[in-house]
Structure 1
Amino acid sequence: MIRAVDHVRQMAAYALADLGGEGTISLAQNESAFAASPKAVAAGQAVLAQMPLYPDPEWTELRAAIARVHGLAAKNILCGAGSMELIGCLIRAFAGPGDRVLGTDYGYAYAASATAQAQADYVKARERELTVSVDDILSSVVPETRIVFVCNPGNPTGTLIPNSEILRLREGLPADVLLVVDQAYGEFADAEHDPAGIFALVARGDTVVMRTLSKAYGLAGARAGWGCFPPQIAGEVRKLLNPNNVSIPSQAMAAAAMRDQAYMREVVAKTAAIRDRFAEGCRALGLEVPQSHTNFVLMRFASPEQVQAADAALRSEQLLMRGMGGYGLNDCLRATICSQQIMDRALTVLKGVLT
């Protein structure tokens, strides 16, 4: 019998969203409610004749576009097939057997999967009121801690801590602990929380900041993510990245989307307006909905049984939200923001269940 190595056999597969049957509308994967920039689509189409070639391994055009928008040095930017690739390679590069990766109660679940691949231990610091607590993270650090992984804004909670708290966290961590700040939803918070101070932490040599084009830029299908890395950290991570990892069309689309900041900001504003209207409607029904700084909302019901009833009613109308049992939130559903019409339909279903 052919057997996988022990630590792989003991791992659980990363849990993907249930997408339902044919005709189901998914509100489960935090995809954009709006199409990508027309300029991005046109850029992807324009390079299709180049498909016999390998992609640019240096992501030259994409790095330049990111650097220009965020005022960063292009040489400090690494690009991946989604930020997931970068997260996985980073953890494998800097954690191993006997080491700890410290996340939070409701942090991005893929960090735990990547830690298991590295045969390290994933530990969670407590969140308070569904929000990251810097004090609880700092009190959870032990000599074995190698990486602290923080999502801000958080997924699946949508909550946010101010940049000053991220800076306080970095100051409080030992110098030999790598801080990873996952800002997959950062564009939804940038208007009120200037990210420049967080990116500036990279110059210390002990902090990495991750972003993606899957959310605000509407390019989840392109699989294009990026991070800002200290040079010595980037050098180690590049050893584990797949060469030519981001396809030619994906690089072209991502670069064009990055250059079209006006379109992205318009998408963020429209998404936020639909999100806030839906959240208020849910609160009017008695649901607990924390303030979201993302393209989704988390809804807390009175009981797990009420969640099951709501889920069944939504499915009967071919609407599918994400159950949060995997995060220990059996009394919650998470709803990706879709068009206003779809969110109104979902709210009508929830009203029927709750009243």
Structure 2
Amino acid sequence: MIRPVPHVAAMAPYALADLGGPGTVSMAQHESAFPASPAAIAAGQQAMAGLPLYPDPGWTDLRAAIAEVHGLDPARILCGAGSMELIGCLIRAYAGPGDRVLGTEYGYAFVATASAQVQADYVKAHEVGLTISVDNILTTVTPETRIVFVCNPGNPTGTLVSNAEIIRLRHALPTDVMLVVDQAYAEFSDALHDPAEIFALTDRRDTVVLRTLSKAYGLAGARVGWGYFPLEITTQLRKLLNPNNISIPSQAAATAAMRDQAYMHDVVAKTAELRDRFAEGCRALGLTAPQSHTNFVLLRFASTEQAQLADASLRAAGLLMRGMGGYGLPDCLRATICAPDIMARARDVLKGVLS
């Protein structure tokens, strides 16, 4: 029998959302409630003619569009097959056996998987009120800590801390500890906090900022993420990134989507309206829902049993939210914002359970 190396054999596979069976509407994966920009769809379709060729390994047009929109240096932008690829490469490049990767209590679970792949220890700092705590992160740092990951806005909580808190964290961390700010949902909070302040932290050469086109841009199926890095880190990550990681149609669609900022902002505004209306409706039913700055809402029930009953009732109605037991929140379900009729159906099911 051919055996894997021991640490891989001991790992559990990364758990994706349960998608249910045929006819089930998934509210579990943070996909956009709205289609991608028509310009992005058209560009992706047109680019299909280039499929006999390998894609541009430098993502030239896409990097130029990102740099133009955000006022960044294109030489410091790297693109990945979703931000997951960039996270995995960062951990492989900068952590290993005996090192620590520090996340937060309810941070993105894939960071733990990527840490296990390189035999680094993954440690979580406690959050306060389902929100990252800079003070708790700092007290959890040890001499073995190599990377600190923070999601802002948070996943699966949807909560947000100010730029000032992220900047305070960076200034208080040791200079030999990399800070990775995962901003997968930042387009839903950019109007509240100047994104340039966080991008500027990368000038210190010890900070990375990650974003994605999967959420606000509606391109989850295209698998396009990006990050802003110090030049020294881009050099190391290029050694680990698949040199042809993003297909020709995906690059074309992402470039057009990035250049259609008006469409993206409209999607964000409409999603936020649906989100806040649904959250208020759920609070009126007696559920707890922290203020979300993303395209989903975390719902907390009175007990684990009530959350399980709600989950079963939603499934019976052909709706599927994400159970949060794997995040240590067994009394919670996470609801991705979908079309208005889907949100109304979900609220009606919850009303029936809670009444």
Q: TM-score scaled to structure 2, two decimals?
A: 1.00
* In the alignment, structure 1 residue 315 sits paired with structure 2 residue 319: no
**CA displacement 1:91-144 (0-9 Å, x = unmatched):** 110000000000000000000000001110000000000000000000100000
User: What is the percent sequence identity of the aligned residues?
Assistant: 75
Corresponding residue number in structure 2 for 1:7: 7
Structure 1 residue 219 displacement after superposition: 0.1
Per-residue displacement from partner, 1:19-52 (whole Å, max 9, x unpaired)? Answer: 0000000000000000000000000011111100
> Counterparts of 1:249-288 in structure 2 under 5 Å?
249-288=249-288
Amino acid of the structure 1 residue aligned with 2:142: V
Confirm or deny that 1:339 pairs with 2:339: yes
Q: Residue in 2 aligned with 1:293? A: 293
- Take 2:30 and 2:97, find their aligned partners in 1: how far apart are those partners? 33
Question: In the alignment, what sits opposite 2:123?
Answer: 123
Q: Say yes or no: does 1:90 pair with 2:101.
A: no
> Matches of residues 116-265 of structure 1 in structure 2 within 5 Å?
116-265=116-265
How many Å separate the matches in 2 of 1:312 and 1:188?
30
The AA in structure 1 aligned to 2:170 is R
1:284 Cα deviation after fit: 0.4
Following the alignment from structure 1 to structure 2, what is the Cα–Cα distance between the partners of residues 312 and 125?
Answer: 32
- Distance of 1:21 and 1:171 partners within structure 2: 48
In structure 2, what residue type is equivalent to 1:310?
A
Name the CA distance, whole Å, in 2 between partners of 1:246 and 1:86: 12
* Residues in 1 aligned to 2:234 and 2:166: alpha-carbon distance in whole angstroms: 21
- Aligned equivalents of 1:290, 1:9: Cα separation in 2: 38
Alpha-carbon separation, structure 2, partners of 1:214 and 1:118: 26
Q: Secondary structure at the match of 1:272?
A: helix
Letter in 1 for 2:151: C
Give 3-state SS (helix, strand or coil) of 1:346's partner: helix
Q: Which runs of 5+ in 2 are unaligned?
A: none
Matched length: 355
What residue identity is the alignment partner of 2:127? Answer: E
Matches within 5 A, 1:36-75: 36-75=36-75
Letter in 2 for 1:267: V
**CA deviations over 1:266-289 (Å, ceiling 9, x no partner):** 000000000000000000011110
One-letter amino acid of the structure 1 residue matched with residue 214 of structure 2: S
1:257 Cα deviation from its structure 2 partner: 0.1
Aligned-partner SS, 1:128: coil
- Measured in 2, the distance between the counterparts of 1:160 and 1:281 equals 21
Amino acid at match of 1:239: K
Letter in 2 for 1:196: A
Taking structure 1 as the reference length, the TM-score comes to: 1.00
* Cα distance per residue 1:48-97 (max 9 Å; x no partner): 11100000000000000000000000000000000000000001100000
4+ long deviations beyond 4 Å:
none
The CA distance in 2 between the partners of 1:123 and 1:40, in whole Å, is: 39
Indicate the RMSD between aligned Cα atoms, in angstroms.
0.4
State the shift of 1:194 in Å.
1.2
In the TM superposition, 1:11-30 aligns within 5 A as 11-30=11-30
Separation in 2, partners of 1:198, 1:156: 21
Q: 1:167 Cα deviation (Å)?
A: 0.2
- Measured after TM superposition, the shift of residue 303 of structure 1 is 0.4
- Equivalence for 2:306: 306
Q: What amino acid maps onto 1:352 in structure 2?
A: G
SS in 2 for 1:47: helix
Q: Partners in 2 of 1:15 and 1:320 — Cα distance?
A: 16
- Structure 2 SS opposite 1:242: coil
| Cα distance between partner residues in 1 of 2:320 and 2:83 | 25
Aligned match of 2:35: 35
* Structure 2 counterpart of 1:286, one-letter code: G
Paired residue secondary structure (1:218)? coil
Q: Secondary structure at the match of 1:208?
A: strand
Q: Distance in 1 between matches of 2:68 and 2:259?
A: 9
DSSP 3-state at the match of 1:333: strand
| Cα deviation, residue 192, structure 1 | 1.0
Code of the residue aligned with 1:269 in structure 2: it is A
User: Is the partner of 1:92 in helix, strand or coil?
Assistant: helix
Letter in 2 for 1:81: A
Alignment partners' CA distance in 2, 1:93 and 1:73 = 22
Aligned residue type for 2:203? A
Secondary structure of 2:321's match?
strand
Answering whether residue 106 of structure 2 is matched by residue 106 of structure 1, we say yes
Name the residue aligned to 2:330.
330
